[in-house]
């Protein structure tokens, strides 16, 4: 009896010890299940497509890289009044003047005022879509040399204009503020009417101080809404892109062959130059030299001389030839009288007005190896062979030609182009991905040349278009199914491990 009770007590003790031993095992087992569930959820999340980040459509938005003539590459300066100096300011020289990265754009003037800024035209947009332009800016305006304080102010703006516009266009939309001694943010939205917009930075001073400096950095242009076709918005608005609004398609030519322009409301010398001979400083200086009396403000009806037009010989019209053939021949009897008549009234010679042959333009393209991926052609970055450029007339929809890089010296130019809207497309070589926009829309002015630089970077192991298409074509439920299967496998493995652990200790 005593032996039975001892055995029973031993069994109870063994069971108690077993329960005590099983408790941590159960805890481990439950933790394994929780970890497996979490891992399954993470696996399901991992197979889902990552959200596509918002694309900044600007070239060199951070004002980095090279600064030709003091202006950040990818940007163009504009000046309405004054003569500010454009410079690069780096964080190593003045860290407070750079919002992000290594450098920023600086405008400065000593004891002078100005209204000026930068602009950049972005093409390939979608009509009806709302785009937002944001910009970091601040100013230093003072009559002393204290870089931490200002005694004056500078008006700073961010603006958006339709098409290839100008800062003076009345249709531009602006966001205005005054940030002194530290960076602030400017933001403005606009709905694209056509396929291109121009963004502007703006700085204006009214008091001549020793230091009138403005700084711009960290710009962005992004789409914030999808395209809609509503009142006042056309989905196919490419033909609405204008270089310079005017009542004249081409300059006027007088009988002597001299080209001239009659100023219309809203015209400026910059607008006239853009249509007459191209949006270049050389063209503008030529017109200024021909019109020394033309000031900044033009008068409606004012005649602006553009230069001597090229003329071509034109044959007499059939009507003029027929009129000459019908001239009567005098008979011999009245020869003297007839001769006198002819001498007194000579036969009229048809006059032909000279016609103008519109100078053709060109679009020059280059594909470079963007080694650092900054979207800017830097020193040491060579050309890339095997890329294919295509030029399209967006007005007619006709493909005008193609060019494969490496076939000829670059930049390669599509020449003899009339004024029109064009689209240049790039197909990057195999193994390369574009680091700039692969499509550019632009309005080519008469006789002008546009230079476009496209960047591409070699991407080892980059997915091919085919694999990307296969990935995007997978059904949405596939990721969840794979995640669930992964969770089941992990749960099964955890359960088996727990079972083996428990049975081995018995």
Please give the residue range of the domain that contains residue 293.
252-308
CA 218-69-439 angle, 5° bins? 55
**Side-chain-side CA neighbours of residue 327 (13 Å):** 12
How confident is the model over 109-117, as a mean pLDDT? Answer: 91
- What's the pLDDT at 222? 93
CA separation for the pair 219, 32 (Å, rounded): 49
Answer positive or negative: Cα dihedral of 136, 141, 144, 148: negative
Same domain, residue pair 183 and 279:
no
* pLDDT tops 90 at residue 3: no
Q: Are 310 and 265 in contact (CB under 8 A)?
A: no
Same domain, residue pair 173 and 78:
yes
CATH number at residue 135: 2.60.120.260
pLDDT digits (tens, 9 = 90+) for 215-246: 999 999 999 876 544 333 333 333 333 333 33
Query: When comparing pLDDT for 359 and 32, which is higher?
Result: 359
Same domain, residue pair 269 and 403:
no
* pLDDT tops 60 at residue 313: no
Same domain, residue pair 210 and 275:
no
454 occurs within a structural domain: yes
401 occurs within a structural domain: yes
Query: When comparing pLDDT for 247 and 493, which is higher?
Result: 493
Same domain, residue pair 290 and 388:
no
- What's the pLDDT at 470? 45
Residue ending a domain, among 264, 286, 308, is 308
Same domain, residue pair 81 and 223:
yes
CA separation for the pair 377, 383 (Å, rounded): 10
Same domain, residue pair 293 and 174:
no
**What share of the chain in percent tops pLDDT 70?**
61
Confidence of residue 363 (pLDDT cuts 50, 70, 90): very high
Same domain, residue pair 74 and 168:
yes
How confident is the model over 323-331, as a mean pLDDT? Answer: 45
Same domain, residue pair 75 and 224:
yes
Phi, psi of 449, rounded to the nearest 5 degrees: -125, 125
Query: When comparing pLDDT for 260 and 365, which is higher?
Result: 365
pLDDT digits (tens, 9 = 90+) for 388-409: 999 999 888 899 999 999 998 8
CATH number at residue 444: 2.60.40.10
Same domain, residue pair 257 and 150:
no
380 occurs within a structural domain: yes
Same domain, residue pair 294 and 383:
no
pLDDT digits (tens, 9 = 90+) for 170-192: 778 888 776 777 888 889 998 88
Q: Residue 77 has which token pair?
A: 């300066």
Same domain, residue pair 216 and 263:
no
Q: Are 31 and 92 in contact (CB under 8 A)?
A: no
478 occurs within a structural domain: no
Residue ending a domain, among 458, 484, 500, is 458
Confidence of residue 133 (pLDDT cuts 50, 70, 90): very high
CA separation for the pair 425, 438 (Å, rounded): 6
- What's the pLDDT at 488? 74
24 occurs within a structural domain: no
- Partners of 402 in the beta sheet? 390
1 occurs within a structural domain: no
**Domains contained in the chain, number:** 3
CATH number at residue 262: 3.10.350.10
320 occurs within a structural domain: no
3-state SS record for 219-270: EEEEECCCCCCCCCCCCCCHHHCCCCCCCCCCCEECCCCEEEEECCCCCCHH
Mean pLDDT (the chain, rounded): 73
* pLDDT tops 50 at residue 102: yes
Confidence of residue 369 (pLDDT cuts 50, 70, 90): very high
466 occurs within a structural domain: no
């Amino acid at each position: 009896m005593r032996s039975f009770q001892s055995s029973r007590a031993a069994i109870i003790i063994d069971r108690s010890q077993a329960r005590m031993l099983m408790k941590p095992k159960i805890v481990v087992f439950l933790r394994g299940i929780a970890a497996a569930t979490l891992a399954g959820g993470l696996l399901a999340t991992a197979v889902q497509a990552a959200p596509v980040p918002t694309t900044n459509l600007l070239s060199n938005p951070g004002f980095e890289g090279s600064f030709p003539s003091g202006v950040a590459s990818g940007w163009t300066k504009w000046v309405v009044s004054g003569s500010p100096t454009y410079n690069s300011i780096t964080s190593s020289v003045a860290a407070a003047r750079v919002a992000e990265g290594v450098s920023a754009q600086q405008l400065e003037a000593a004891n002078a005022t100005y209204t000026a800024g930068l602009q950049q035209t972005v093409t390939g947009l979608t009509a009806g879509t709302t785009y937002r332009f944001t910009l970091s800016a601040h100013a230093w305006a003072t009559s002393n040399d204290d870089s931490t304080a200002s005694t004056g102010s500078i008006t700073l703006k961010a603006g958006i204009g339709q098409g290839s516009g100008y800062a003076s266009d009345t249709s531009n939309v602006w966001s205005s503020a005054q940030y002194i001694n530290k960076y602030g943010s400017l933001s403005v939205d606009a709905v694209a009417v056509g396929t291109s917009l121009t963004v502007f930075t703006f700085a204006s001073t009214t008091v001549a101080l020793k230091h009138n400096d403005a700084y711009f950095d960290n710009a962005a242009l992004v789409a914030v809404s999808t395209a809609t076709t509503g009142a006042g918005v056309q989905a196919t608005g490419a033909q609405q892109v204008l270089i310079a609004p005017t009542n004249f398609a081409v300059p006027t030519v007088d009988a002597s062959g001299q080209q001239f322009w009659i100023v219309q409301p809203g015209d400026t010398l910059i607008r006239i130059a853009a249509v007459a001979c191209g949006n270049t400083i050389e063209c503008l200086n030529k017109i200024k030299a021909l019109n020394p009396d033309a000031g900044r403000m033009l008068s409606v009806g004012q005649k602006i001389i553009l230069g001597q037009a090229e003329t071509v010989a034109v044959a007499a019209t059939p009507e003029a030839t027929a009129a000459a053939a019908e001239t009567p021949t005098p008979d011999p009897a009245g020869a003297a009288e007839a001769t006198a008549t002819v001498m007194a009234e000579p036969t009229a010679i048809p006059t032909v007005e000279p016609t103008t042959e519109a100078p053709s333009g060109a679009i020059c393209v280059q594909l470079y190896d963007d080694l650092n991926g900054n979207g800017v052609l830097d020193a040491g970055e060579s050309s890339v062979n095997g890329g294919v450029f295509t030029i399209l007339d967006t007005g007619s929809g006709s493909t005008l030609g193609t060019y494969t890089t490496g076939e000829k010296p670059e930049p390669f130019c599509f020449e003899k182009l009339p004024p029109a809207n064009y689209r240049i497309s790039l197909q990057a070589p195999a193994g390369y991905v574009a680091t700039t926009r692969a499509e550019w829309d632009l309005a080519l002015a008469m006789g002008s040349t546009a230079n476009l630089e496209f960047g591409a970077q070699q991407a080892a192991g980059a997915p091919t278009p085919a694999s990307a298409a296969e990935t995007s074509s997978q059904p949405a439920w596939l990721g969840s199914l794979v995640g669930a299967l992964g969770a089941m496998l992990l749960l099964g493995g955890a359960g088996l491990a727990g079972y083996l652990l428990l049975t081995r200790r018995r």
